[in-house]
Chain A
Amino acid sequence: AQSVAQPEDQVNVAEGNPLTVKCTYSVSGNPYLFWYVQYPNRGLQFLLKYITGDNLVKGSYGFEAEFNKSQTSFHLKKPSALVSDSALYFCAVRDTGTASKLTFGTGTRLQVTL
């Protein structure tokens, strides 16, 4: 079975500071990993994904994530946070050895303050 853990319910960061939102995963095969963002009363918007290749993945709005196979992690990062980054962030995994379904973490609320 595939699973995702987001250990922090909320992350608080001051604008201009770097941010990290943590994600670890568990799959039986090789993972496809995704980050999505959800703004209030909106759907999920795709940020970035890791499929294969370079472990550092760059995505939308200046976000990036690093795939670490040994630690089974895929933490989301941004060098300089903006107040407008405040939202709910979801990590998701798909096991390449199984069918197409994405399994999501419980979400981390990012709060960026001035």
Chain B
Amino acid sequence: DAGVIQSPRHEVTEMGQEVTLRCKPISGHNSLFWYRQTMMRGLELLIYFNNNVPIDDSGMPEDRFSAKMPNASFSTLKIQPSEPRDSAVYFCASSFTETFYTFGSGTRLTVV
């Protein structure tokens, strides 16, 4: 199993541009989570899906952020327009039980 796959690994973009982060969960996992890691705020849960349905998006910082899961094998996190304060490492994780979570390697986003 290749684990949770995130792309791109690194993204540098200019303020105001649209950014799309991608995640492929482990096959058979039915829950997917998007986290953001910053020095100031640590690891924050942005949104999570269960069986492709968004369950809790209370962590999404503002309307500029949106996430979709069109099928069980793919999810996107989109920021439009991006701002420098969005610079962070974004992690995707998936689980098949409620007691085991696997994380991807993350996408390091830099907005200049």
Contact = CB atoms under 8 A, between A and B. Distances in A.
A90 B108 CA distance: 19
Given A43-B91, A105-B42, A100 B50 contact: yes
Contact of B33 (A49, A51, A102): A102
A25 B31 CA distance: 23
A32 B42 contact: no
Interface residues of B, number: 24
Interface string B33-44: 101000000110
Interface of A: 32, 34, 36, 41-46, 49, 51, 90, 94, 99-107
Contact of B43 (A45, A90, A94): A90
B95 to A, nearest CB: 7
Given A101-B45, A104-B42, A46 B100 contact: yes
